[in-house]
């Protein structure tokens, strides 16, 4: 009887050992499968070099001007402006709109009317004016202004008086109008350079969801006025 109990104990021990061996074999097999998967599953290569499709300074600041224009209430023309200092820092942003304290629900937005007082022109502040007055620096002399439209003569007067050194514009669609002709004359006499911005692409897409993963549908397009 004692021998049979001993044999049973030995059998139980051998069974436990066999079970352990099976578990170890399964673990080894799983590790082997993982190793095989690591060898066969392609991995997305890590990007270690800097991006080459980033925005240039001109693209960046002009895009800021166009983005600020989206704040304008003007139904026919949304214009933005961005003032940048020599250190490539933004010191002023503005868009066309009515003066502070003057309701843009009560003042007219029409471009044409029998009475000029029923149009927007006697009341609206241009983007350049607002960008210069919204400056966050005591002095903006020597700065550059980026603006969607070539500035009119009134805005050029302000640009000259503020001491800006350069005007970078996108559209010159009013080139042959007297106010733009006078503007070029004033800027030239004051020694302020101006040049037209030539984008590499027609639009810049801002996708808010791209920060959480691959780019999806665009939420905002910045294009010509």
Active site (catalytic) residues: 128
Alpha-carbon distances of 154 from 4, 43, 96, 186, rounded to whole Å: 113, 59, 14, 10
Tokens encoding 15: 């069974």
8 Å CB contact between 194 and 221: no
Q: How many CA atoms lie within 13 A of 73 on its CB side?
A: 14
- Containing 33, the helix (H) or strand (E) segment is helix 2-40
Length of the chain: 225
DSSP for 41-96 reads: S--PPPP-S--SSPPPHHHHHHHHHHHHHTT---SS---EEEEE-TTS-EEEEEE-
Closest listed residue to residue 197, CA positions, set 166, 165, 171 = 171
**Could you tell me the sign of the dihedral formed by the alpha carbons of 76, 187, 182, 129, in that order?**
positive
**Could you tell me the sign of the dihedral formed by the alpha carbons of 157, 107, 97, 174, in that order?**
negative
């Amino acid at each position: 009887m004692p021998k049979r109990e001993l044999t049973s104990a030995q059998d139980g021990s051998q069974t436990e050992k066999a079970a352990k061996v099976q578990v170890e074999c399964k673990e080894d097999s799983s590790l082997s499968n993982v190793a095989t998967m690591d060898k066969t599953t392609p991995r997305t290569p890590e990007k270690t070099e800097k991006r080459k499709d980033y925005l240039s300074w001109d693209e960046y600041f002009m895009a800021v001007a166009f983005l600020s224009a989206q704040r304008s209430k003007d139904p026919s023309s949304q214009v933005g402006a961005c003032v940048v200092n020599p250190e490539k820092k933004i010191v002023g942003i503005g868009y066309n709109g009515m003066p502070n304290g003057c309701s843009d629900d009560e003042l007219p937005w029409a471009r044409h009317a029998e009475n000029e007082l029923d149009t927007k022109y006697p009341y609206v502040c241009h983007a350049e004016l607002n960008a210069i007055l919204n400056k966050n620096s005591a002095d903006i002399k020597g700065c550059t202004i980026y603006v969607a439209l070539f500035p009119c003569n009134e805005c050029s007067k302000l640009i000259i008086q503020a001491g800006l050194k350069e005007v970078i514009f996108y559209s010159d669609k009013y080139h042959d109008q007297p106010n733009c002709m006078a503007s070029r004359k004033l800027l030239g006499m004051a020694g302020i350079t101006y040049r037209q911005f030539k984008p590499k692409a027609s639009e810049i897409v801002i996708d808010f969801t791209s920060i959480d993963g691959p780019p999806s549908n665009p939420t905002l397009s910045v294009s010509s006025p």
